[in-house]
Every structure is written in structure tokens, then in C-alpha cells.
Amino acid sequence: MSFDIPDDRRYQDSHEWALETETETDADGRIRIGISDFAQDELGDVVFVELPDEGEDISRGSEFGVIESIKAVSDLYAPVSGEVVAVNDDLFDAPELVNDDPFGDGWMLEVDAADADELDALLSANEYEEQVA
């Protein structure tokens, strides 16, 4: 089985992705966070996602939330540090979006990154692919 691993973003070994999203109002952009196609497939049907509130800080490598599928519960680990500036509320009513579109509508958070270098330290798509292959 092969999994989508888009090369427009970075990954960490606990299967979260981080994507820089430039906006008109914020030249530095924000970092959008979600989990990979591999991760959603491993979990199976996602039924519940617990995420921090806007304004909370998350810290690279630390737990920022929890994802539950029918068969398993798994912690979510922050790929970068920063303040949460947006939460994907759609996941509370439709957690299956994580299965259906893990890199798109199934995103979880956007943060104001505290340290831009953290993003570069993550795995490239190729490096991540080697890990899940």
C-alpha cells in the first residue's frame, strides 16, 4: 500500500505534518498542522479529536492534543512551537475529515511559529517516505 506524502510540507517521525501558509496579513505566515495519510490509515476511522484552544501555546515535541479512532487512541505531538491562532472546528462534528482528506480539510491547527528554524529541522517528504516505507 502506498500513501500520499505531498512534498510541499515537512514531517516529523510521529507522523504530524507542518505546512507554511502565507497570508496577506502576516508576511511570516502561519504553520498549519495535521497528521499524515499513513497515520490516518494506521488509526482507522477517526471518531474524536481533542485540540487546544486558540491563544494557547504549543511546544515542539510536546503533546498538543489527542486523536481517537474506533480502535485506538493516540497523542498528537507538536512539530513546531508557537501560539495557536486557528483551530479546525469542523473536526469536532466531522472527525472523519482526518481520514478523508488528511492534508487538506482534515488539518488541525494553525500556529504563529515561535522559531522559523524549527520547520527546517523537520523531515522532508523524501525522508519521511523512507521512514514509513
Partner 1 sequence: MPLQTPPLRGIHDERGAKFTEFGGWDMPVEFDSIQAEHEAVRDAVGIFDVSHMGQIHVTGPDATTLMQRLTSNDVTRLGVGDSQYAVLTDEEGIIIDDTVIYRLPDEDGDPTYLFVPNAGTDEETHERWINYRNEFDLEATVDNRTDEYAMFAVQGPDAAELVAAVADESVTDLNRFQAMTATIDGIECWTARTGYTGEDGFELIAPWEDAERIWSQFECQPCGLGARDTLRIEAGLLLSGQDFDHESNPRTPYEAGIGFTVALDTEFVGRDALDRAREDGAEEELVGFQLIDRGVPRHGYDITNTDDRVIGTVTSGTMSPTVDQPIGLGYVPSEYAEPGTTLNVVVRGRSKKTRVEPTPFIDTV
Q: Which stretch binds partner 1 (CB under 8 A): 8-16, 66-74, 82-90, 111-119?
A: 66-74
Taking a C-beta distance cutoff of 8 angstroms, is the pair 60, 78 a contact? yes
Type of residue found at 127: E
Q: Which stretch binds partner 1 (CB under 8 A): 13-21, 40-48, 77-85, 112-120?
A: 40-48
Least distance between partner 1 and beta carbon 7 (Å): 26
Type of residue found at 85: V
The answer to whether residue 100 forms part of the interface with partner 1 (CB under 8 A) is: no
* Residues β-bridged to residue 84: 111
Q: Which of 7, 23, 61, 73 binds partner 1 (CB under 8 A)?
A: 73
Cβ proximity to partner 1, 44 vs 104, nearer residue: 44
3-30 in b/e form (b: 16+ CB < 10 A) is: bebeeebbbbebbbbbbbeeeeeeeebb
Q: Which residues bind partner 1 (CB under 8 A)?
A: 1, 44-45, 47-48, 66, 68-71, 73, 92, 99
